Amino acid sequence: MTDDLTGSTPQPAPTVHRKWRPAMIWLFAGFAVFAYVFDQLTKLWVTSTMTEGERIPVLPPLLHWYYIRNSGAAFSIGENVTWVFTIVMAAVSVAILFQLRRLGSAWWALSLGLLLGGALGNLTDRLFREPSFAMGHVVDFIQLPNFAIFNIADSAVVSGVVIICLLTLRGIGMDGKRHVPGGKTSKGQAEEPGGE
């Protein structure tokens, strides 16, 4: 009789996790699409209304629109190896998609969505803008004092990384559980090896 009870004991945690997973995936997708579309629309606006090198004061002296085409990374580092950035952005995008099976936290959905949307925004520029496929220049236009000129995709990537750092420092895993040293969750239950 004990064996029958043990075999039929319900396990609520996986059921709750399965319920939340579709919601988290939709939340992730929403943030990714928002970051990507917002980035591409602002770049379309800049390229169709401004000439390269044009500067427009928005909130002087703090904020200007300053249209440049960036062939490298931040601070124009690596201008001669643009293809490396293309490969890195594509690899980051694929790695994020592989992690979605573990997603159980709204904050992680937000951070990974922003990260993916931003990476795809700049990847689109690298692939399809001049001068050639996979070597395209990224459109940057947001200028702050004594700082690099950047775009919405860059902002989304940085915001996503900052949120990931804060979640990691607080010990919150992608599954939404707070992990403490010793392999235990915040509820004091031991984590199963490789489990969710």
Beta-bridge mates of residue 164: none
CA distances from 131 to 57, 70, 136, 137, 138 (A): 29, 11, 5, 7, 11
Catalytic residue among 39, 125, 140, 175: 140
- Characterize 18-29 residue by residue with b for buried, 16 or more Cβ atoms within 10 angstroms of its Cβ, and e for exposed: eebbeebeebbe
Find the radius of gyration of the CA atoms of the chain.
Answer: 21
Residue type, 191: E
Structure tokens at 105: 């936290």
Q: Quick check: is 140 catalytic?
A: yes
Catalytic residue among 39, 125, 154, 175: 154
Residues taking part in catalysis: 140, 154
